[in-house]
Amino acid sequence: MSVTEIPAPLLEVRDLAVDLPVGKGHRPVITDVSFSLRAGESLGLVGESGSGKSMTVRSALRLLPAGSRVAGSIRWEGEDVYAMSRSRLRSWHASEVGFIHQDPRAHINPLRTIGDFLTEGLRASGVGRRESVEKAEALLERVGITEPRTRMRQYPHELSGGLLQRVMIASVLLVEPKLIIADEPTTALDVTIQESVMAILDDLRRHEGVSLVMITHDLDLAAAVTDRIAVVYAGQLVEEGASGSIHTEGLHPYSVGLLESRPSTTRRQRLRAIPGRPVAAFEAPPGCVFVDRCAHAVDTCREERPSLRPVQRQLVACHRAEDLQAPVVLAAGGAL
């Protein structure tokens, strides 16, 4: 084995393309996605419905339905995820990656207490009863739950959505994962609750060095809480860069359009809406995936699919990126 100066990224996705089985054939859901994540870093995977943002993560974790076709490479600390044995894959999922879903209620057994839910994994791996309970209670406190002992005895239906999402986060922390994947973790929650959940995730990353991939449709939210943002559209990563620069000087017409579509909370003005609707990878035109909705499209955009390349401080998949460099400065806006 050779000694390398730079450690391999925690997660590296290269030239990912995925076709899912549909009926007798296959249908593309991801056509071109690449990104890498270092330990302790957070990445916002931003896109609208059908963009492939959730599928990207499912592919990276090798959680695709049987019969799916995957091209490209996924590496975890340098290890090829698709070459892992079944037992290695199981232990990787169980001990190194935590998944937080949009709807915790659908992922927590309604018939068992919060305490049972939190301790069953530990108990199964041989940890004693008392120790499991103490660990679970400590984690509930860690996520801001003030009466952990009472909560442990309650059933999921007795807890609000926000509380249950905190329980979900605590359950993920039980195994001390290196990476947390949060799929629209606050979309179903009220804003004031969203704030708490985001604060908890942010704190874990800062103080415990956990990496975070957050899947969201909310570019403002991603910009506020992640280091880097990858914008996905129709199965393709169209722009990637530091969260601050994507938010203030995004180059891809889709990233810029997404920001301009958000109604501002500070001023009233007619919205500059992107015409048409978001399309999925299988519906995308042969050239640039965004061409039909783009105000800057020229003939090249219709003929040739642009690939991701460095422009300014970002990576962007747009033929016209240089022409569109004039930075767009936006006032604060945001989803509640």
With CB under 8 A as the contact rule, which of the stretches 35-43, 90-98, 143-151, 307-315 interacts with another protein? 143-151
| Min separation Cβ 13 and another protein, Å | 24
| Min separation Cβ 336 and another protein, Å | 4
How many residues touch another protein (CB under 8 A)? 57
Cα(11)–Cα(291) distance, integer angstroms: 31
Cα(183)–Cα(310) distance, integer angstroms: 28
Q: Considering the rule CB under 8 A, would residue 244 count as an interface residue with another protein?
A: yes
- Alpha carbon 157 to its chain centroid, in Å, reads 27
- Out of 3, 124, 273, 326, the only residue in the binding site for another protein (CB under 8 A) is 273
223: Cβ contacts below 8 Å, ≥ 6 apart? 44, 229, 243, 244, 246, 247
103: Cβ contacts below 8 Å, ≥ 6 apart? 188
User: Of 8 and 224, which has the nearer Cβ to another protein?
Assistant: 224
Q: Which of 183, 233, 225, 166 is nearest to 43 (CA)?
A: 225
| Min separation Cβ 221 and another protein, Å | 4
User: Of 12 and 183, which has the nearer Cβ to another protein?
Assistant: 183
CB 73 within 8 A of CB 15: yes
With CB under 8 A as the contact rule, which of the stretches 172-180, 206-214, 240-248, 316-324 interacts with another protein? 240-248
Q: Considering the rule CB under 8 A, would residue 24 count as an interface residue with another protein?
A: no
| Min separation Cβ 205 and another protein, Å | 12
With CB under 8 A as the contact rule, which of the stretches 94-102, 123-131, 267-275, 300-308 interacts with another protein? 267-275
Footprint on residues 188-207 left by another protein (CB under 8 A): 190-196, 198-200, 202-203
Q: Which of 26, 14, 31 is nearest to 284 (CA)?
A: 31
Q: Considering the rule CB under 8 A, would residue 274 count as an interface residue with another protein?
A: yes
User: Of 9 and 253, which has the nearer Cβ to another protein?
Assistant: 253
Cα(71)–Cα(48) distance, integer angstroms: 23
With CB under 8 A as the contact rule, which of the stretches 88-96, 122-130, 260-268, 302-310 interacts with another protein? 260-268
Footprint on residues 103-122 left by another protein (CB under 8 A): none
| Min separation Cβ 165 and another protein, Å | 11
CB 64 within 8 A of CB 18: yes
CB 76 within 8 A of CB 7: no
Cα(64)–Cα(82) distance, integer angstroms: 11
| Min separation Cβ 297 and another protein, Å | 16
Q: Considering the rule CB under 8 A, would residue 221 count as an interface residue with another protein?
A: yes
**Phi, psi (5° rounding) for residue 165?**
-65, -35
- Out of 136, 163, 294, 317, the only residue in the binding site for another protein (CB under 8 A) is 163
Judge residue 182's burial from the number of C-beta atoms within 10 Å of its C-beta, 0-12 exposed, 13-18 middle, 19 or more buried: buried
Cα(293)–Cα(275) distance, integer angstroms: 6
Footprint on residues 31-90 left by another protein (CB under 8 A): 48-49
User: Of 93 and 262, which has the nearer Cβ to another protein?
Assistant: 262
Q: Considering the rule CB under 8 A, would residue 247 count as an interface residue with another protein?
A: yes
Q: Three-state DSSP class for 106?
A: helix
Q: Considering the rule CB under 8 A, would residue 285 count as an interface residue with another protein?
A: no
CB 39 within 8 A of CB 46: no
Give the footprint of another protein on this chain (CB under 8 A): 48-49, 144-146, 162-163, 166, 190-196, 198-200, 202-203, 217-221, 223-225, 244, 247-248, 257-258, 260-275, 277-278, 293, 332-336
